[in-house]
Chains A and B, each alone.
Chain A
């Protein structure tokens, strides 16, 4: 290989790196430049007094508050569905599943993890039609369906992180409890899980991030542009990502557009925060394993 080609290849690598950094830099600074001036309490609470809105005394009509509340409620509900089932499945796959069934479980869960989120949304939508036809006329796409569909979306992440954090433990940790006479369940609940709790939690935090940002699932399962704070699990609701989507195609005034930019910054902030938190936890785990072995 001659000198020139070598230099060319090195130069190419540097150029790609600089272009990528530049592209993300331009994207983010454009967003901040446009959105920061719009960030103020009236963007979130509109004309309503913040305290009244937080205490649910008055409905916020022209602010982001209902969307933020909707997203938070949605995250909490979906995670409540997903954590117990996900962690229990992870424990089963890591500790109980026999070799014959494992490939089948792995295949089904890998497909579930790879399914486009819009398909999970369509699934939720199909279920609501099914229930509408066969169970009750009053069931439409709603908050409950959305949270269940989102739980399906993030379930594989939680299962995999739980499973991996249990199987990757050092052999000595796995067997000490058993050698001291602990039962299988005691060993799992009191030794293995507490030992690696932070890596399981970092997986859960990533799952929360997916719940917060996902738009495709909720847009088919009950999110709407104007609904206020959901009053029951069967009502429709608002959410930040859908609000951003809605504004992008349907803004009537400059002020609404600015709210879209503000909402984008808020959503990006939430995701960046969750991402950093999960990384800190992961690093903690890595450090402990490094010192252990």
Chain B
């Protein structure tokens, strides 16, 4: 090939890479640009502190932040024991038929659309929860957390099994030679030497739980209040963004959406930084 084509192709590759990387910067700039008037006016503290009550001039995003944190935390609380149990089953207790089937199923779960999860939950889980609490519509923190737990479970399991499997074989052989049972191997050898992978998997799952829109939008109830219990309806930051009714682009209601966006962006950046500190991306690239 002629040198000019070589040069041209190289420029093209560089340009594409610059374009792709700059999308991140663009997204940040847009969030910042649109929420800038609030920073300038010194209203930002108001936005973060107060509750939401448009008729009173209160546009605080605090209820959504609390809603997000509570729903995501419960989802992780539910998903973690299941994730650890399933991963232990797949990579220690049942490496053959059952474990292999479970792993295939978990892999398949990553492909199930979130909107399908929520749609089925509306007709299956929501009535059940309504019966249990005997109040409200059944669309509440608990319902959303359960479905969200199911959504983030594959992330946890796939990551944990990889972490479990990457424990050096010699460690396991040594433990076995000393007469360790499978459970002892899991508790004393595998989990202690795979803890970085476990934490990375949970952090990654937290990112997914906070970032998911459809489940919280469809089955968390979307109430503009700080939830006081599992049976209360709540609204997450993502659902709040999804619910915009764009009539007046200058209104503080509209601008508050970009504050939510900015918060989510900063949160994503933090997750990436934590994963980097844990060496997650190095693990991923070595594979």
**A12, B109: Cα distance in complex, Å:** 22
In the complex, what distance in Å separates the CA atom of A109 from the CA atom of B182?
40
Please tell me if the beta carbons of B269 and A159 are within 8 angstroms of each other in the complex: no
Which residues from chain A contact B114 at a C-beta distance below 8 Å? 213, 215
How many angstroms between the C-alpha atoms of A264 and B115 in the bound complex?
Answer: 8
* Choice from B21, B25, B105, B242 contacting A216 with Cβ under 8 Å: B242
B230 within 8 A of A: no
Chain B proximity of A250: nearest CB distance (Å): 12
Whether the Cβ atoms of A21 and B111 lie closer than 8 Å is no
Report whether A111 and B268 are in contact in the complex, using a CB–CB cutoff of 8 Å: yes
C-alpha gap A210/B241 in the complex (Å): 20
Assuming the A-B contacts A10-B183, A186-B1, A268-B113, are A105 and B21 also in contact, with contact meaning beta carbons closer than 8 angstroms in the complex? yes
Asked if residues B98 and A115 are in contact (CB atoms below 8 Å), the reply is no
The answer on a CB contact under 8 Å between A106 and B281 is: yes
- Which B232-287 residues sit within 8 Å CB-CB of chain A? 238, 241-242, 244, 246, 249, 257-258, 261, 264-265, 268-269, 271-272, 275-276, 281, 285
Contact A96 B10 (CB under 8 A): yes
Q: Which residues of A contact B242 (CB under 8 A)?
A: 118, 121, 216, 219-220
CB distance from B41 to the nearest CB of A (A): 19
A117–B123 alpha-carbon span in the complex (Å):
25
Which range contains the number of B residues in contact with the other chain? 35 or more
CB nearest neighbor in B for A82:
B20
Given contacts A31-B116, A93-B17, A164-B285, contact A19 B1 (CB under 8 A): no
What distance in Å separates the Cβ of A175 from its nearest Cβ neighbour in chain B? 18
Listed stretches B58-66, B167-175, B194-202, B204-212; interface member: B204-212
Report which of B6, B22, B25, B244 forms a contact with A185, defined as CB distance below 8 A. B6
| Cross-chain contact B21 with A108 (CB below 8 angstroms) | yes
Q: Smallest distance from the beta carbon of B191 to chain A beta carbons, Å? A: 11
CA distance A125 to B261 in the complex (A): 12
Contact with B along A19-42 (1 / 0, CB 8 A): 111011011001100100000000
Rounded to whole angstroms, the CA-CA distance of A5 and B184 in the bound complex is 10
- Are A17 and B150 in contact, with the CB atoms below 8 A? no
Asked if B14 and A244 sit within 8 Å, CB to CB, the answer is no
B39 at the interface (CB under 8 A from A): no
How would you classify the secondary structure of chain A's contact residues: helix, strand, loop or mixed? Answer: helix
Is residue B133 contacting chain A, with contact meaning CB distance below 8 A?
A: no
Chain B residue numbers with a CB within 8 Å of A97 are 17
With A248-B119, A271-B111 as given contacts, are A20 and B17 in contact (CB-CB < 8 Å)? Answer: no
Interface string of A86-124 (1 = CB under 8 A from B): 101101110111000000111111111011111111110
A244 touches B119 (CB 8 A): yes
Which residues of A sit under 8 angstroms from B217, Cβ to Cβ? 245
* A129 within 8 A of partner (CB): yes
Describe B's contact surface by its main secondary structure: helix
Of residues 184 to 230 in B, which have CB atoms within 8 Å of A's CB atoms? Answer: 184, 186-187, 207, 210-214, 217-218
Give B69-107 interface residues, CB cut-off 8 Å to A: 81-82, 84-86, 88-89, 92-94, 98-99, 101-102, 105-107
Residues of A close to B5: CB separation below 8 A: 185
Residues of A within 8 A of B281 (CB): 106, 110
Residues of B within 8 A of A155 (CB): 20, 23
Residues of A within 8 A of B (CB): 1, 5-6, 9-10, 12-17, 19-21, 23-24, 26-27, 30-31, 34, 84-86, 88-89, 91-93, 95-97, 104-112, 114-123, 125-127, 129-130, 152, 155-156, 159, 164, 167, 183-186, 209, 212-213, 215-216, 219-220, 241, 244-245, 247-249, 260-261, 264, 267-268, 271-272, 274-275, 279
- CB-based contact B20/A159 at 8 Å: yes
Question: In the complex, which of the residues A97, A126, A183 has the most CB atoms of chain B within 10 Å of its own CB atom?
Answer: A126
Name the 5 nearest CB pairs between A and B, nearest first.
Answer: A16-B85, A116-B211, A213-B113, A275-B111, A88-B16
Contact of A89 among B17, B207, B211 (CB under 8 A): B17
| Nearest chain A CB to B124 CB, angstrom units | 5
CA distance A258 to B163 in the complex (A): 43
Q: Is the CB of B34 within 8 A of A126?
A: yes
Q: Which listed residue, A93, A120, A245, touches B115 by the CB 8 Å rule? A: A245
Contact residues in A for B92 (Cβ distance below 8 Å): 13
Min C-beta distance of A188 to chain B, whole Å:
9
Which residues of the other chain, A, contact B85 by a CB distance below 8 angstroms?
Answer: 12-13, 15-17
The smallest beta-carbon distance between A13 and chain B, in angstroms, is: 4
Q: Cβ of B88 and Cβ of A13 under 8 Å apart? A: yes
Q: Is the CB of A30 within 8 A of B124?
A: yes
Contact A183 B116 (CB under 8 A): no
